[in-house]
Amino acid sequence: MRKSEIKRQTSETSISCVLDIDGKGAYKIETGCGFLDHMLELFSRHGRFDIDLSCSGDVHVDYHHTVEDVGIVLGRAFSQALGDRAGIKRYGSMILPMDEALVVSAVDVSGRAWVNFGLSIPSQKIGDFDTELVIEFFIAFARELGAAVHLYQLSGQNSHHIVEAAFKGFARALAQAAEFDEKSDGEIPSTKGTIM
């Protein structure tokens, strides 16, 4: 039962999240940012993570605090649900096509946070969403989970397609990394004996 529940309250956002890593991809997501909702719904469905997340934030300013803080809460929720990481595969990767866009996503749940962000998003905005916030989400998520995340764009011209391929690919890579390794016999996947 790899589940977690996180609540985080600041002067900028109020967020609650219930996560089941071993779900079916069911979601209820309300962040006040339509594009972020869409990306997280895709993340939930393609990773087969059950996510119930609500955020009330200062979106009258912009979406920055909402996007970053949702990344913090989701990364923290995954970290809590994975516990000591015993028995997981630790590594996951995916090359995901989305029409003309092709994005490589790779994850190492190593206990060390790092983001290599190789997306070249042509537009500054997708609807009312600032595309510079995509990297902010992944940095916050990786930092809280303790994971190295690599996202590289091999092709793509449409901003929506590029970002969507990144979220879908990241979901698939993370799901693979979080899977139980049948050969591990519940061992921590590190010669150090710990991933924390």
- How far apart CA 70 and CA 58 sit, in angstroms, is 13
50-84 pLDDT, tens digit each: 999 999 999 999 999 999 999 999 999 999 999 99
pLDDT of residue 194: 76
CA angle 9, 11, 17 (to 5 degrees): 25
In tens, the pLDDT along 129-187 reads: 999 999 999 999 999 999 999 999 999 999 999 999 999 999 999 999 999 988 888 88
Q: Give the pLDDT score at 188.
A: 78
Task: Provide the token pair at 13.
Answer: 């956002």
Could you give the CA distance from residue 98 to residue 153 in angstroms, rounded to a whole number? Answer: 11
Among candidates 188, 162, 191, which has minimal Cα distance to 83? 188
- In the prediction, which pLDDT does 191 show? 64
User: Which pLDDT value is given to residue 184?
Assistant: 83
Average predicted confidence (pLDDT) for the chain? 96
Contact (Cβ atoms closer than 8 angstroms) between residue 144 and residue 76: yes
User: Strand, helix or coil at 53?
Assistant: strand
E-state strands within the chain: 3-9, 13-20, 27-30, 50-57, 91-98, 101-108, 114-118, 125-126, 129-130, 148-155
Higher confidence at residue 50 or residue 189?
Answer: 50
Q: Percentages helix, strand, coil for the chain, rounded to the nearest 5?
A: 35, 30, 35
pLDDT tens-place string over residues 76-102: 999 999 999 999 999 999 999 999 999
Q: Tell me what pLDDT residue 179 has.
A: 96
- Has residue 118 got a pLDDT over 90? yes
- CB of 65 closer than 8 Å to CB of 13: yes
Q: Return the number of other C-beta atoms located less than 10 Å from residue 113's C-beta.
A: 17
Q: 29-50, pLDDT tens digit by residue?
A: 999 999 999 999 999 999 999 9
- Distance CA(70)–CA(106), nearest Å, equals 21
Domains of the chain in sequence order: 3-178 (3.30.230.40)
pLDDT in the model for residue 183: 85
Residue 170 CA to residue 177 CA, distance in Å, equals 10
- Give the strand pairing for 129-130 and 148-155: unpaired
